[in-house]
Structure 1
Amino acid sequence: MMPITLLLALAVVVSLPWWLPGRVVALRVRVFNRINGDEGIPVPGDLVGVDRFKEVYSHPAAGGRSKGAALSDLFWYWLAPGPEMHQEHLEAGERYDAVARTTRGLLAVPRAEAEELTRRCAARTLEGVRGLVRLRDVMMPLWAEFSYELVFAEPCPREARELIVGNANDVVTSLKCTSLRHMGRRNRLTRYLLGRLPRVRVPLPAGLSPQEQAYYLHGAFFTTAVVQMSEAMAHLLMVLAQHPGVQDKARTGDDRYLDHVIAETLRLYPLFGIAHRITTGEIQLDERTAIPAGAVLCFNYPEFHRAGFTDPGRFDTSRFDRPAKELNHIPFGVAANRACPAWRLAPIAMRAAAREILHRYALHSSAAHTRSLPNRGPCLLTPPDASRPPRAALAFMRVRDRWEDVWRSFVQLVLGTYMVWDARRQRLCERHFDHSVED
């Protein structure tokens, strides 16, 4: 008969995936907070409630992007090289205005053209893809080619696609603390873009050096655009994979229904977690209370998106039978505080990509689906007219995903702690602005 101690040990080992990852993640959060310090004002929170979230986010004084926040050192570290030229982190002024105009010009694509471009890129990159996949990995080549054609108005060469995907994957895995940065991989893309600057289909800002122009393209189109579109599509496809009724209706339904599926996906799984902004002036809340200049406001998208909804963790497309502007729903930010420049193009491209994928596949997944998506979206792709997927395949996926969570939580703890410490040590943002003042 097996000793009781051995049975207990076996029970502990078998149960690890159900309790250990959560505790390791909680430890990682405490470590991060210890290293970073507590500099932010949470919104919504005790000072600013849900009812004033948009009001404060839209305030003219809530527009500082990087200067003066220790958190900026961390994001600059993860977005290097050239974070000082990343459109999301440029401070207001002539340089930002010039960059924003160029971005709008590159994104100003007619709807039919954007849909055709998406279908064309999907057809090329999905050829031969089937079986057990990671959805984010499948999506990255598609959006790499899409972004390349937006910028250069010509098909994406294989060499360029590999450079773009390698860079984007490196950025997102370091952001999720599942891998360290590999700056050589990122710098190779910058060097490639330097040689392609004359081929950009709209004039680049004249006030920027060639290196700065390359960094701008690198950050806006070949990092943020590829990463965010790949993440958004992975979330959308995971939702479809885990809600068969929604998938069937999306496959045969109209665009309005699919738009609601996309909107509800971005409500449940917003691409932004915390967006920090630095106040450039005082924000008066009432006669006695004001947020001072230089404060760091941490706008919590997931919490805001859950507020005001019945059973907010449930996927329900009917929430968007009402106009989205009446809901706590800002997947692309707010217009008054530099909303995502792809707010119009992204949903059009996502819908076209979803249509192409649903035409080719039925999707099935039993893996965990969380906002951070560190598992990259495990999914089984089968022909759309195939019979139900083997239960064994989904059982294997579920067990594998649970056990991956165990080792991944430790990897994130170790690598994340190192990167947060290294970012604080390098102080990329703080040094940049200190140097600017000296100049």
Structure 2
Amino acid sequence: MRVTVLLAAAAVVVTAPRWLPARVVALRRKVFEKVNGDNVITFPNAAVGPDRFQEVYSHPAANGRSRGAGLSDLFWYWLSPGPEVHQEHLEAGPRYDDVARTTRALLSGPADALSAAAARCAARVLDETVTGRVTLVRLRDLMMPVWAEYFYELVFGEPCPREARDLIVGHADDVVSALKCTGLRHPARRARLTRYLARRVAAGDVRHPLPATLTPTEQVHYLQGTFYNTGVVQMSDAMAHLLLALAQHPDVAARLADDPADDRYFTRVLDETMRLYPLFGIAHRITTAEIELDERTTLPEGSVLCFSYPDYHASGHARPDVFDPERWEHTPVRESHHIPFGVAANRPCPAWRLSPLALRAATGEVLRRFTLHSTVAHTRSLPNRGACLLVRVGEPLPPRRLARIGALLRVRDRWEHVWRSVVQLVLGTVMVLHARRLRLAGRYFDPRPTAGCRVDQPPSSQENTA
């Protein structure tokens, strides 16, 4: 009897990587849905299929951003400080227009200059941090200093000092770890970057005038949230997905390395990466008026609409789970279910022009130095941060050694996924409950003043970063 129990227990432990993570993820989703409390409508669904997805997403009444949704409390909590003046979270009006103009100006420039800056930043970081013949890295961690330096140069027009890079990376890593529920927020770490940016803004060091509709404190939070939060995090994730896809599809990587001037092929590879691994899981909007879809279906004013990028990108494609850049050779992107940068009519990503240029330049610097190898799980949220082996070009490893390292990486990744899924369940639940208690977005829009907080201002900095 005792032997049977021991064998059963051993079987449970040994097979845990196969069944436990999926069940914990399902439980985490139920906790999020239960705690959130919104009457959320997710698209595409049975009534509004993929063919009408962009129609609803682009509707003029689907333009509310934060006011009136419990989801906003959670996003403001994760993105503090600065969500109240983040371009993506501002309600429509003069302040949004002012901020959007400034963002476009800071992200603009000649294509050659934008590409050269990305290549320069990538080369500097790679040469500094990856010096051996063979190096095991986490791709997202490797790329964060690259994009920290890049966005610093875009904002300040000068090379990024190491002090600033460390502050930006520490802040961005804290934000993305909280978003993926692999770590709690550390407000003090974020505040260090806030203080640094405040000094630079006060000194007039930003290369373009900041939005006049924002107070000096809001200008600092705008820079921190838009460029050193969203900008660094999204570009690091995009680069990690792209490089991990290349590591797991060596024929694609070899073609890019052999012909780095082939813009069309790189575009297909990037489109396929963004289709299969969209940076946004869900984009939420709040309806500011009724949306009548047909004689039987009307979305009431105040509805919380959640647009699922993964579900939409998977529809209308043959073998949607397969990484296949060649699918784009004869399939026009504009006619496909593919919106990597959102929809033009409803706040598309302001870096839609810059991102492909910068990603291509940085990818070229990586492939010029290394071949990439990885056997870890590649999922949209990428909580494992993309473990990958970099082998210096011209110094290949024997195939048998590569195979052994790959097997070890695969086993390690599966067991990491077991404990990480439990950590995500616990920390995710804690943060959802904390965000619901603080109600940062709800209190910001609350018409009733609270002690020490004007109606037209966000809660105090202490409450925003609690």
Normalising to structure 1: TM-score of the pair?
0.98
1:138 maps to which of 139, 142, 167: 142
**What residue number does 1:428 align with?**
440
**What residue number does 1:339 align with?**
348
Give the AA of the match of 1:118: A
CA deviation after TM superposition for structure 1 residue 293, in Å: 1.2
Q: Deviations over 1:151-170 (max 9, x none)?
A: 00000010100000000000
Q: Distance in 2 between matches of 1:326 and 1:430?
A: 39
Q: Deviations over 1:234-275 (max 9, x none)?
A: 000010000111111111131211111011000000000010
CA deviation after TM superposition for structure 1 residue 33, in Å: 1.2
CA deviation after TM superposition for structure 1 residue 11, in Å: 2.1
Give the AA of the match of 1:19: W
- Structure 2 matches for 1:307-386, cutoff 5 A? 307-321=315-329, 322-385=331-394, 386=396
Q: Distance in 2 between matches of 1:396 and 1:65?
A: 45
Give the AA of the match of 1:144: A
Provide the identity percentage.
63
Q: How many residues align?
A: 439
CA deviation after TM superposition for structure 1 residue 38, in Å: 4.6
1:169 and 2:173 aligned? yes
**What residue number does 2:188 align with?**
184
Any idea what SS the aligned residue of 1:249 has? helix
Q: Distance in 2 between matches of 1:153 and 1:331?
A: 28
1:229 maps to which of 219, 223, 235: 235
In the alignment, structure 2 segments of 5+ residues that lack a partner are 450-454, 457-466
**What residue number does 2:253 align with?**
247
Q: Distance in 2 between matches of 1:266 and 1:201?
A: 31
- Structure 2 matches for 1:118-137, cutoff 5 A? 118-127=118-127, 128-129=129-130, 130-137=134-141
**What residue number does 2:462 align with?**
none
Q: Contact 2:376–2:413 at 8 Å: present in 1 too?
A: yes
CA deviation after TM superposition for structure 1 residue 435, in Å: 4.9
Any idea what SS the aligned residue of 2:61 has? helix
Give the AA of the match of 1:395: A
Q: Deviations over 1:376-423 (max 9, x none)?
A: 000000012314452221111111101101110111111100000000
Give the direction of change, closer, same or farther, for the CA distance of 1:408–1:7 in structure 2 (3 Å limit): same
Any idea what SS the aligned residue of 2:372 has? strand
Q: Distance in 1 between matches of 2:393 and 2:372?
A: 8
Q: Distance in 2 between matches of 1:406 and 1:286?
A: 46
Any idea what SS the aligned residue of 1:199 has? coil
CA deviation after TM superposition for structure 1 residue 82, in Å: 1.9
- Structure 2 matches for 1:277-292, cutoff 5 A? 277-292=285-300
Any idea what SS the aligned residue of 2:305 has? strand
CA deviation after TM superposition for structure 1 residue 18, in Å: 1.2
Give the AA of the match of 1:383: R
CA deviation after TM superposition for structure 1 residue 142, in Å: 0.1
**What residue number does 1:396 align with?**
408
CA deviation after TM superposition for structure 1 residue 9, in Å: 2.2
**What residue number does 1:296 align with?**
304
Q: Distance in 1 between matches of 2:107 and 2:402?
A: 42
Q: Contact 2:38–2:71 at 8 Å: present in 1 too?
A: no
Q: Distance in 1 between matches of 2:191 and 2:83?
A: 13
Give the direction of change, closer, same or farther, for the CA distance of 1:306–1:436 in structure 2 (3 Å limit): farther
CA deviation after TM superposition for structure 1 residue 305, in Å: 0.2
Normalising to structure 2: TM-score of the pair?
0.92
- Structure 2 matches for 1:258-269, cutoff 5 A? 258-269=266-277
Give the AA of the match of 2:156: F
**What residue number does 1:22 align with?**
22
Give the direction of change, closer, same or farther, for the CA distance of 1:38–1:430 in structure 2 (3 Å limit): closer
Give the AA of the match of 2:143: M
Any idea what SS the aligned residue of 2:41 has? strand
Q: Deviations over 1:96-129 (max 9, x none)?
A: 1000000010011211001110111011111141
Give the AA of the match of 2:356: P
Q: Distance in 1 between matches of 2:69 and 2:420?
A: 29
Any idea what SS the aligned residue of 2:141 has? helix
Give the AA of the match of 1:213: Q
Give the direction of change, closer, same or farther, for the CA distance of 1:361–1:342 in structure 2 (3 Å limit): same
**What residue number does 1:411 align with?**
423
Give the direction of change, closer, same or farther, for the CA distance of 1:26–1:288 in structure 2 (3 Å limit): closer
Give the AA of the match of 1:232: A
Q: Distance in 1 between matches of 2:225 and 2:448?
A: 21
Task: Indicate the RMSD between aligned Cα atoms, in angstroms.
Answer: 1.5
Q: Distance in 1 between matches of 2:141 and 2:56?
A: 37
Q: Distance in 1 between matches of 2:297 and 2:179?
A: 35
Q: Deviations over 1:312-342 (max 9, x none)?
A: 0001112212221011000000000010000
Q: Distance in 1 between matches of 2:205 and 2:96?
A: 22
Give the AA of the match of 2:304: V
CA deviation after TM superposition for structure 1 residue 47, in Å: 3.0
Q: Distance in 1 between matches of 2:51 and 2:156?
A: 43
Q: Distance in 1 between matches of 2:102 and 2:38?
A: 36
1:238 maps to which of 244, 248, 257: 244
Any idea what SS the aligned residue of 1:60 has? coil
Give the AA of the match of 2:265: Y
Q: Distance in 1 between matches of 2:350 and 2:263?
A: 22
Q: Contact 2:38–2:70 at 8 Å: present in 1 too?
A: no
Q: Contact 2:38–2:69 at 8 Å: present in 1 too?
A: no
Q: Deviations over 1:17-50 (max 9, x none)?
A: 1111111111111111111125211111123211
In the alignment, structure 1 segments of 5+ residues that lack a partner are none
CA deviation after TM superposition for structure 1 residue 436, in Å: 7.8
